[in-house]
Each structure stands twice: as C-alpha cells, then as structure tokens.
C-alpha cells in the first residue's frame, strides 16, 4: 500500500522492527529452526484497531536499544538499524555493519543497504526530515543526509570510548541527546542546519543509559538506565534489582538532569507523552532471567508516572510482558503501545483516570517486536 503525502500527514505512523530468528525461552537466548524472517511493520495508530500499512522483510536484531528504527515525517522513508544474522553452524550471532533505508512511497517497499564502519544501534530523524543520526557501537555518531529516499553518509563524530545506544532529537531540531551506554551519561549534540557538532555538554544518568525520548512541548526528556545488565557481559551473575529513569529539563539550555525515578529492573523501554504530562516505562523486572534467579518473575511491569509542577510521581503500575522491549505514546498522548517480545504482540493501553487500561486491540506479529518509533513530533 503506497502512502500519499495526504495520508501520511493525517496518520499517526508507528514503525516496529521485529526479530524473527531470536526467541527467549525460560530466560535463555535461543535461535530455533526454522526461523521466521525479521520484519519491519508500519501502522497507522490514529484510530484503533491500528491499521497495518506495510510488512517488509529486513535484517534486524533484538540486541540493542529499542530505538533501532525510525521514519521520516512524511512517512515515505523508514530506517532499520541493528542488523544481525545467526550462523547456525558456528552458533554465533553476527552483527552486520550497515543501515537499511526503506522507500515506502512506491507500490512495493524498496530496501537499500547503506554500509557503515560499525554496527548501528539507535537511530533518529530530525523534525524536518532532512537529517538522521545513527549511534554506533564504536562510540561514533553517524550523520546522514536525507533527500527524498536518497540517504548519504556525511560524517561521523566520536562521542564515547564505548558503545552508544538510544538517541532522540529535541522538538526544535537544534539538539540531539545520545546515550553513552558504556561510558555513562548523555551526550548533547548541537545541530545547525546540516552541521552536527559535539557541544561537549554531558548530562548525568544512571548506569547504562539506553533509551531516550523527548516531549513535543520542548520541556522534558527521559532516559532509561538499564543498570549492570546493560553493560558488557562479563559472565557474572545477574539479579533483578531496582534501576532508574532520568528526567531531564530541556526547556533551558544547557539542559539539566533534575530527577531520578526508581523503577523495576531493566527498564528496556521509556517514553514521554507528546504533551509532556506522562511517562511510561516498560521494565523486565526479572522476567528475562532463568528460573530460580534472584528477583526472577514471570512478567515485567508497565509503570505510569505523571509530571506535575516540575516533578514526576508514580501513579499506576500493571503487569506486562515477559522481557518487554520498546514503548511509545500515540500522538494524542492518551494511548501507549508496548512491545511484548516473547509473546510477539503489540499491546495497547489507554490512560483513564490516571490508570492504565489494557485495550482489546492487541496486534499479533510473526516475529518478536524489539524496536519502535513514530514519525518525529
């Protein structure tokens, strides 16, 4: 189905990248045979049930922040990062070094692979749809110019000595926040037209900052800190202890971290509503661990915070997925879409009287969803 400019303008486009080859079974990573293909699914969430617009075969992996996908404001071009393939002979997962650019405006989606020096992780598109930034596991930020469906690599900026993770643009497009997963903290990037530079400003975070989201009112950013589980695996015993979410005031530059929210372990996904009033956190809460592990649970948690008078406070928490992944608000700020990876579902919640109400509009997928974004807001 082709997307005309008019359709894209009125729609609330959501893209979900889904890993078909990977399956978490009782807290263990498995790669069953036969494997389902990895896919990119594109939905219109302006009404419920959501309308499926595209299903595109891609190369994608769950190993990375749930922001390894993006779509331009006009809905014509999507990006899928974190490409992986599994070598069944050597039992090795291989991280590929390219970014996939998917043209959605024709009768059939077309995929181009853009080679990069490293494996890309989080990716974001600016509000004008002219620039994309991709975070590399080599600590570099890759700058991509967008002209229609044509995407070219412009340059790169070394931000960290470790892996980069999630990334988001501010609403005015003048800055971007990048999670320095291994080195800790948030790097602030300056953007002047097509020129991207390191501001040298660093913001405090918790351990292993991972996912970043910014409100459309220009006031707030949120960062999920996944703790020791998000650092390089040293084969030490993992337990499900509490982790955190950072609240950053982006209304005045330089930005400033102003609050830490305690959440269940491994808050894989975090989102802030476009109106800046709500924060949703999808935490694994030990549901990713083998049976018998300290803090192991069958289900994770979806936690709702309200922002009032400059402070966030928890107002509701409900059971959620087994090892859930990304989470996002719809543009009306009243609905939340959560990725249930093990269950291979997109689950929709509504906020009503400060409570999370699970709606019957669950979307069944053929692969486990693990990254989710909307058009820039």
CATH at residue 144: 2.130.10.10
Q: Report the mean per-residue pLDDT for the chain.
A: 95
- Given a cut of 60, whether residue 4 has pLDDT beyond it is no
**Calpha distance 50→86 (Å, rounded):** 32
pLDDT of amino acid 10: 81
| pLDDT tens track for 40-55 | 999 999 999 999 999 9
Distances (CA, A) of 334 to 12, 92, 354, 363: 13, 42, 10, 18
- Provide the residue range defining the domain that includes 221: 5-374
pLDDT of amino acid 7: 46
Percent of the chain with pLDDT over 70: 97
Distances (CA, A) of 362 to 38, 49, 337, 340: 20, 8, 9, 10
Percent of the chain with pLDDT over 90: 92
pLDDT of amino acid 2: 42
- Given a cut of 80, whether residue 261 has pLDDT beyond it is yes
Q: Give Cβ neighbours of residue 104 (< 8 Å, ≥ 6 apart).
A: 2, 3, 42, 53, 54, 71, 75, 76, 77, 78
Q: How many domains, in total, are found in the chain?
A: 1
| pLDDT tens track for 65-91 | 999 999 999 999 999 999 999 999 999
Q: Is 6 helix (H, G, I), strand (E, B) or coil?
A: helix
**Calpha distance 367→342 (Å, rounded):** 9
56 pLDDT band (50/70/90 cuts)? very high
pLDDT of amino acid 232: 73
Distances (CA, A) of 159 to 67, 136, 163, 205: 18, 10, 9, 16
| pLDDT tens track for 272-295 | 999 999 999 999 999 999 999 999
Distances (CA, A) of 138 to 86, 158, 159, 220: 21, 8, 9, 28
| pLDDT tens track for 212-253 | 999 999 999 999 999 988 887 767 778 899 999 999 999 999
| pLDDT tens track for 141-168 | 999 999 998 999 999 999 999 999 999 9
Mean of the pLDDT values across residues 99-109? 95
- Given a cut of 60, whether residue 8 has pLDDT beyond it is no
- Given a cut of 80, whether residue 310 has pLDDT beyond it is yes
Structure tokens at 333: 């700020």
- Given a cut of 60, whether residue 1 has pLDDT beyond it is no
């Amino acid at each position: 189905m082709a997307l005309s400019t008019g359709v894209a303008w009125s729609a609330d486009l959501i893209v979900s990248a889904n890993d078909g080859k990977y399956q978490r079974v009782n807290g263990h990573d498995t790669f069953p045979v036969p494997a389902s293909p990895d896919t990119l699914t594109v939905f219109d969430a302006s009404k419920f049930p959501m309308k499926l617009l595209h299903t595109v075969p891609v190369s994608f992996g769950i190993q990375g922040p749930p922001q390894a996908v993006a779509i331009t404001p006009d809905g014509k071009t999507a990006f899928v990062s974190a490409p992986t393939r599994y070598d069944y002979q050597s039992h090795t997962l291989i991280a590929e070094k390219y970014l996939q650019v998917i043209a959605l405006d024709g009768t059939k989606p077309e995929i181009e692979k853009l080679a990069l020096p490293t494996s890309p992780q989080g990716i974001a598109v600016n509000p004008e749809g002219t620039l994309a930034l991709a975070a590399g596991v080599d600590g570099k930020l890759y700058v991509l110019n967008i002209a229609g469906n044509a995407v070219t690599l412009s340059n790169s900026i070394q931000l960290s000595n470790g892996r980069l993770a999630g990334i988001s643009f501010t609403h005015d497009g003048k800055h971007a926040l990048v999670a320095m997963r291994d080195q800790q903290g948030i790097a602030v990037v300056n953007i002047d037209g097509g020129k991207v530079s390191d501001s040298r400003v660093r913001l405090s975070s918790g351990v292993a900052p991972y996912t970043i989201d910014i409100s459309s009112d220009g006031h707030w950013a949120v960062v999920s800190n996944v703790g020791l589980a998000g650092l390089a695996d040293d084969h030490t015993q993992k337990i499900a202890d509490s982790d955190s979410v950072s609240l950053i005031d982006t209304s005045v530059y330089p930005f400033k971290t102003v609050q830490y929210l305690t959440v269940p372990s491994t808050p894989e996904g975090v989102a802030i509503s476009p109106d800046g009033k709500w924060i949703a956190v999808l935490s694994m809460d030990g549901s990713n661990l083998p049976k018998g592990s300290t803090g192991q649970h069958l289900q994770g948690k979806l936690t709702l915070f309200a922002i009032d008078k400059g402070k966030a406070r928890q107002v509701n928490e409900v059971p959620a997925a087994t090892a859930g992944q990304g989470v996002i608000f719809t543009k009306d700020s009243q609905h939340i879409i959560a990725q249930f990876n093990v269950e291979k579902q997109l689950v929709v919640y509504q906020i009503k009287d400060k409570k999370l109400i699970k709606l019957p509009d669950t979307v069944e997928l053929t692969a486990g969803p693990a990254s989710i974004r909307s058009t820039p807001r």
